[in-house]
Amino acid sequence: MVMGGDFRQVLPVVKRGTRAQIADSSFRMSPLWSATKKMLLTINMRALNDSWFSDFLLRVGDGSEEAIEGNFIRIPDDMTIPFTTKENSIKELFNAIFPSIENNVCTSDYIASRAILSIRNESVDEINDQMLDNFQGKQHVYYSFDEVEDDKHHFFPIEFLNALNVSGLPPHKLRLKIGCPIILLRNMDPSRGLCNGTRLICKGFHRNAIDAEIVVGQHSGERVFLIRIPLSISEDDKFPFELTRKQFPVRLCFSMTINKAQGQTIPHVGVFLPDSVFSHGQLYVALSKGISRENTKVLVHPAKDFGRDGVYTSNVVFREVLREE
């Protein structure tokens, strides 16, 4: 039995882990994997239909792309959105990835084939809020029911709990519109395609249910009803209390984090980097979601002036993970 995978992907998340701890959480390449690596990568990249782009992605994933001042690499000029001001540049990125969105709000294929990736939840939430405000249609808002287990003396006011925006949990105030994309945050019914990371399109709203259409995988096109469920904070978040939030287990996904996008198929990809990537494989994953350089656009907030033309951003690769044992 031969088991393989792409070691250029992001590694398992180790909360507050050191580089050594993150690397140790992953398997290194065996000689057998090394021997079949080239063949598998050729198969994986064949769908790109762009040999230059696939070669560039492999160099980024291997950490062999030419770099300056450590690990800063140049993004090809035809893939970049020039940075002027944050507001104007983000608007240009929106227009590049979601052109004529006002004429396509009812087209599921259009919405499902596009997304903007970023590194942190704060940036993702900011983009999603802006996209929803510009999205046509009437807004529907669902509020969560939050409580702390065994809080008999009410040390944690409801207003405080409602204000918490925790990774992996839906927001207290969930704003949605007909036709907007959402992503599932929990495994609800894998046999019906309702898994963590499944993307859907909102089709209708009811008091205690969301009518949605699955737009990825073998269940694409099926209509489902999502209900509120109790969700708890992960132990890794190290909160001094156990928060339970009863809410629909979804978030908007005009934009999503790079880690969340791993394994997704997104033909038209925008990459927003207000800061440099911080973990192995993140830049490779972000760039490899697109099917061609024409369909991949990158907006970088310049970290510093390198005194030369072009847009540069850091590329983090843990070579010890790629090294053969």
Instruction: Report which DSSP code applies to 192.
Output: G
Query: In terms of domains, do 248 and 271 share one?
Result: no
Query: In terms of domains, do 156 and 244 share one?
Result: yes
Report yes or no on 260 lying in a domain. no
Query: In terms of domains, do 233 and 289 share one?
Result: no
Instruction: Please name the helix (run of DSSP H) or strand (run of DSSP E) that holds residue 23, with its range, or none.
Output: helix 19-24
What's the number of domains the chain is made of? 2
Report yes or no on 89 lying in a domain. no
- pLDDT value, residue 176: 96
- pLDDT value, residue 222: 93
- pLDDT value, residue 96: 93
Cα separation of the two ends of the chain = 19
Query: In terms of domains, do 71 and 189 share one?
Result: no
- pLDDT value, residue 30: 46
Report yes or no on 281 lying in a domain. yes
Range(s) of the domain holding residue 190: 127-253
- pLDDT value, residue 52: 79
How many angstroms separate the CA atoms of 139 and 178, rounded? 8
Bridge-partner residues for 87, per DSSP?
Answer: none
Bridge-partner residues for 115, per DSSP?
Answer: 269
How many angstroms separate the CA atoms of 136 and 177, rounded? 8
Report yes or no on 48 lying in a domain. yes
- pLDDT value, residue 240: 80
Report yes or no on 280 lying in a domain. yes
- pLDDT value, residue 324: 54
Instruction: Among 193, 219, 253, give the residue marking a domain's end.
Output: 253
Alpha-helical (H) ranges within 47-139 are 51-62, 86-97, 108-112, 121-134
Query: In terms of domains, do 132 and 204 share one?
Result: yes
Alpha-helical (H) ranges within 192-303 are 258-261, 282-288
Give me the tens of pLDDT residue by residue for the chain, a chain 325 residues long. Answer: 554 555 566 666 666 666 666 666 665 544 444 444 444 444 444 445 567 788 888 888 888 889 888 889 999 999 999 998 988 999 999 999 999 888 877 788 888 899 999 999 999 999 999 999 988 889 999 999 999 988 777 888 999 999 998 888 999 999 999 999 999 999 999 999 999 989 999 999 999 999 999 998 889 899 999 999 999 887 666 678 888 999 999 999 999 999 888 877 788 999 999 988 888 888 998 998 888 888 899 999 887 787 888 899 999 887 766 665 5
pTM as predicted: 0.84
- pLDDT value, residue 92: 93
Q: What is the CA radius of gyration of the chain?
A: 21
**CA-based nearest residue to 281, from 62, 2, 123, 80:** 62
**CA-based nearest residue to 161, from 188, 137, 143, 141:** 143
Report yes or no on 166 lying in a domain. yes
The single residue listed with the structure tokens 């830049």 is 283
Query: In terms of domains, do 152 and 239 share one?
Result: yes
- pLDDT value, residue 322: 67
Query: In terms of domains, do 230 and 137 share one?
Result: yes
Judged by DSSP in three states, 27 sits in: coil
Both tokens assigned to 99: 């052109």
Query: In terms of domains, do 136 and 234 share one?
Result: yes
Instruction: Among 194, 220, 253, give the residue marking a domain's end.
Output: 253
Query: In terms of domains, do 271 and 236 share one?
Result: no
Bridge-partner residues for 189, per DSSP?
Answer: 194
**CA-based nearest residue to 260, from 9, 8, 4, 7:** 9
User: Which residues neighbour 156 within 8 Å (Cβ) at sequence distance 6 or greater?
Assistant: 148, 241
How many angstroms separate the CA atoms of 116 and 269, rounded? 6
Bridge-partner residues for 270, per DSSP?
Answer: 116, 297
Query: In terms of domains, do 236 and 152 share one?
Result: yes
Extended strands (E) in the chain:
67-68, 72-75, 114-118, 140-143, 145-148, 173-176, 181-184, 199-206, 209-214, 223-226, 229-232, 243-247, 250-252, 255-257, 268-273, 296-300, 311-314
How many angstroms separate the CA atoms of 78 and 81, rounded? 8
User: 118 and 258 in contact (C-beta within 8 Å)?
Assistant: yes
Query: In terms of domains, do 146 and 249 share one?
Result: yes
Instruction: Among 230, 253, 276, give the residue marking a domain's end.
Output: 253
Report yes or no on 152 lying in a domain. yes
Report yes or no on 91 lying in a domain. no
Query: In terms of domains, do 168 and 234 share one?
Result: yes
